[in-house]
Structure formats: C-alpha cells, structure tokens
Structure 1
Amino acid sequence: MTVHTPAAGGLGILGTGSYLPERVVPNEAFGPLAGVSAEWIERKTGIRQRHYAADHEAASDLAVEAAVRALDSAGAEAADLAWIIVATSTPDHPQPATAAFVQHRLGAHGAAAFDVNAVCAGFLAALHTGAALAAAPGLDGRPRLALVIGTEVYSRILDLGDRRTAPLFGDGAGAAVVGPVRADRGLIGTGLRTDGRLHELIGVTAGGSRVPASEKTVARGDHFFRMRGRDVREYVERELPAAVAGALDAFGVRTEEVDHFVPHQANGAMLREVVGSLGLPAARCHLPVELHGNTGSASVPLALDAAHRAGELADGDVVLLAGFGGGMTMGTCLLRWGT
C-alpha cells in the first residue's frame, strides 16, 4: 500500500542546486574491463558518459556543493535552515550521518541533520520527510526551511568488470530548499511505498552488521554493488505506471494537467519505453541521464535542477517527480511550480 500524504498549503521548493564532479568517464572506458562497446552501452542504457568523484571527494563534499547552489537559488542562508536531510546509499562513513558533515561545512549549526537511505528513491523519501517537518512552524512562529539533498559516490562501490552495473552508474548530488510559497503554488502531495519482499534485487552484501567487512568478503567482491537488472526492469514496468496513476488519483490531478515528468534517471532506454505507458499526454519527460548516468538518490534533483536552470519550468506548471530504488521503494511527488 502506498502512503499518500497531502502537503501543507503554501509549502514548496524555493530553490534547487546540483553538482557533478569534474572527471568525465566516457563509455569507451568500460570496454577493456566489462567487455562491452561504447555503442552497446548507449543502445542499452541511453548513457554516453558519467562523472566520477576525485580521490579526495566523498558524498558530503558533493552534497555541500549542491547545497550551496540550492541556497543561492532560494535566496536563503545556511542560518535559515531548521532541517538538513541527506539521502544517500554511499555515505562518507557508516556513522556518523553524512548530514552532520554537510551541516558542519555549511555552518548551519541551528539545523537538525540526519540521513535517509531508500537507495535510488532516497530523494523522494527525504522530500516527503522534509515537507512534513517544514510544515510545522517553530516555537517562535517563524516558518522553517528544510534542505533536502540526494548525493552518491557510486564509483567507489562498482565492480568495473560487471557490465550489468558498472556502465550505468555515476557520481553526483542534487538539492532543494523546501519552505513557504504562495498558497496556490508548491507541493500538492507525496507518496511512498516499499515492498521488502524484493529486497534482494539491489544491494551491497558486506559492510553491515549482518556481514561485516573482512578479507573474505573483499576477496568475494561482496563490498560491490549488485543488481538483478531484469527483475528491476520488470518491477519498474509494473509499479511505475501504478504509482503515477495512484498519485494523480490521490490528489485529484488529471493526467492531462501534468506538464513535466521528472523520473529517477535509471536507464534512458528503459524509461523511454515505460513513459509511453504512463498516460501523460501533455507532459515533457526530462531525461538528462545521457550526460551523467544513474546517480542514485541524486538523479531526480539533478534532473529537476537542470530543468529549472534551463528555464523549462514555467510558473504554475504541474511537475511530477518519481523515484524507485532498492528495498524496493517507490516514491512520488506532485507540485505546482512557482517562480
């Protein structure tokens, strides 16, 4: 069952930001190890390149860069933040939370900071949480801003010889500032659903309390990211149309009212096939996946920021966000864009 939560009136996205590391990795780089051609990768995934973090960069570093841009876009300061929520499945460390490093670097010492992990659906889970927290005013009656970030450094957990995963993923971060907007703009509602029966489709086996990292786990490659691609594709083809239809029905939005669809940038070829089954006749689908690959929880805010900065989101446009990831978890968000 999907939990649909209507948003509080007058609460929306005030600004967006994103960051991609400088190092660009083209498809040709995977041929020697994964045994696939650049043409094969682009045909199967729609991806032409991805970005990898520098040796000194971790998830928090990427997150801070995206956050600074989002705050600037929103006309806000770090001191204005009440909440910092970081979605990541590649944290700096198992503990403490990556959000604590982000808070420290931003100087947002008045903000509570914590992580969420719903893998590639992480940003939608964080946005769902951030909207709920920002809806309640502080004790002084002033509105409170939430900074919601998706950040990943997948290059550190990839088996570069696995053609099912290595060519798909890249590193990056995207962020949004959530706060008060005019009453007829902003978030309409969010939806989240997890089917834990499918938890084996995506994951990293070693490094946690069930299978602690050891010489044996490293030798077996258990610290690498693994994915049952065909099963994941079937999940998306089955569940994404249902999630979209459920969100529209829950919040009373007609299919023809949706102007923009911003999905998780999992696989461009797959998404182009699935989008036709969503029944969104007027919606523009934003798919910058060819430029940065699958960046996990960062992919939805990266795509949203690209559309925002390109001036493609007009005042009053209805935007539908959708993320899906390990767990398996599906998240949606409907909002009316405001300038």
Structure 2
Amino acid sequence: MTTVATPGRAAPRYFTWAFIVTGAGLLLGGLVGWAYTGTWAGVLSYFFICAVLAVLEISLSFDNAIVNANKLKTMRPEWQRRFLSWGILIAVFGMRIVFPLLIVVVAAGIGPVEALRLAASEPATYSRIMQDAHLPITAFGGTFLMMVALSYFFDPDKDIHWIGWIEAPMARYAAIRGIEIAVALAIAVLFSMLLPEAEGQAFMNAAIMGLLTFLAVEVLGGLIDSRSATATAASGGVGAFLYLEVLDASFSFDGVIGAFALSQNIFVIAIGLGIGAMYVRSMTIMLVEKGTLSEYRYLEHGAFYAILALSVIMYAQSLVHIPEVLTGLLGAGLIGVAYVSSLRCRAAE
C-alpha cells in the first residue's frame, strides 16, 4: 500500500486493495451487526448498510479522485507514496471516525471518551448532536470547495476551456486580485441572508473559517515548500500534501453527515465510507499512471464543475434537504458529459 503502482497494468488490478478492503469491511460490518443485534437479520441489515454507504461514498467522490490525480501528478514520488499511504489512513481513520467524534466533543461540550461512549451505546443521541452541527459544517466545507473550484476557473494561465462562454471570461477577469474570494464571500452572504438571523450569523462565521482555512493551507504550504533548495523541487511536497488532505476532508463532510440518514452507528458509517475511500485511492492511482487527464482534456473541467455544484448544494442544504444520491448523480453526470466531450474533441483532431 505504500508505493505507487507500476504503469501499464490492466485497470481492474488498480483496485486490488479496494477489493480486499471491501471484503474485510463487509465482513466486519456483519460482525458489528451480530454484536449489536445477535441475529442473522441484523447481520444482513448491517452488511447491506455498509455496502450502500460504500456506493454512496464512491458516487460522491468521482470528482475527488480526478482533482487528487491532477495534484498528485505534480508531486515528487516520495510525496505521492506518502499521500497514498498516510493520506488514506488519515482519510479513513481521521475523517470517518475521529472527525465525527470531535464534532460531538465540541457541540456537546463533553470529553472524547464520553463521545465514544455515546457513539457506541446511544447512537440516537449521537446522531442528533451530529445533525445539530450540520449548518456550520456545510458552510465551512462548502466554502472551502467553492474556493477550490473558483481558483481553478479564475486562472489567468488557463487556456483550455470546455464551456468557453463561461470559462474564457473567468480566466480573463482572473487578473483582478482576490476576485475568487469576493465571489465566494458574496455567495456566502446571499445564503446567510436567507436564514434566520442567528443561523445566518453561524453560517457566515463558518463560511469565513472555511475561506481562511483555504488561504491558510495555501500560505502554509508555500512557506514550508519554499524552504527547499529550489522551487521546482518543492512544488510537489508538503504544501500539496496538506492541500489534498484538507480537500479530502471537505469532500467528506457531506458524506459523513448524510450517512447518518442511513445509520446512526458510527462504526458502520466508518466501515462503509472507509470502503468507498479505498476506491477513491485506486481511481486516483489509475488516473495518474494512465495519463487519463491529459488524454481526455475536459475531464478535469467536469470535475471542477462538479466541485462547484457540490459547494452550492452544501450551501443549499442549510435551507432544504437535498438527498446525497442526487448530489452524487449530479457530480457523476457532469464528469460523464465532460468525458463524452473529450471523446468528441479527440475524434475531431
């Protein structure tokens, strides 16, 4: 698990570890079902929920894999290996287990041990606390993802456009310093005004924190990498690693919160979403090694449109409930259209 795979192998072999984790995870999910219910019906129910959660995570993460691959291809080999080993451990253990516990610790003002006890013995109470924290989480994660997408489109050096009438003006206006920050803040203010005063203030505070986190990751990564001997050698180091970790966390917010609609058991949620995270890792490796992003020129555009759509959906969830399945289908649909457009472009060349 600690090395980047060898180029040229068949596509299914990229998913070897994902298949292994799927089998182990579903078996573990069944054991959790037996531990909580002591019945075969409970085993099958927990087994099924783990499988559904894994599919949900995969459907929500096509764009995540593409953006990971785009960043990963510029990283030095040792940092590629670190992201694909340490990074997946952080994604599975940190975001799917520690993060929900920390939310409960902060929201309920209790200790980590008590939060873990709630998760294990009082899942309904645990789920209620998680749902109560939904508003600031969506504002924070939505703002970070929006900045990721806007930074891609507001790029003066971007010369390949998929939807030209949208992207060409954005690339041209990128010369205006801070325009992507202004756009993100304007959208955040608009949504906060649609909420009751207290909720609107909480939404805006979390949105500003999401913006500051994005800027902090950019600045911190640049400062750390600039300590290296040359800018070229540093371009794919700690900064890129930090960026990808926070990006993965932002993608995970929606899936973790939405998973509580299917199960209130944190261990089942961690298993199901962890399985999905392994497929994201496998897809990332395959995209990097096969050069898919350069071969299909609009695939990356589709991923960033999907990220922008996800950020707006996360904002909209502060007002209305939007099923996670719809979110996943929208993202997959945008990437699918971009893929077809790439094929047509290749055929016309």
TM-score with structure 2 setting the length: 0.29
Bigger share in helix: 2
Higher relative contact order (CA 8 A, sep 6+): 2
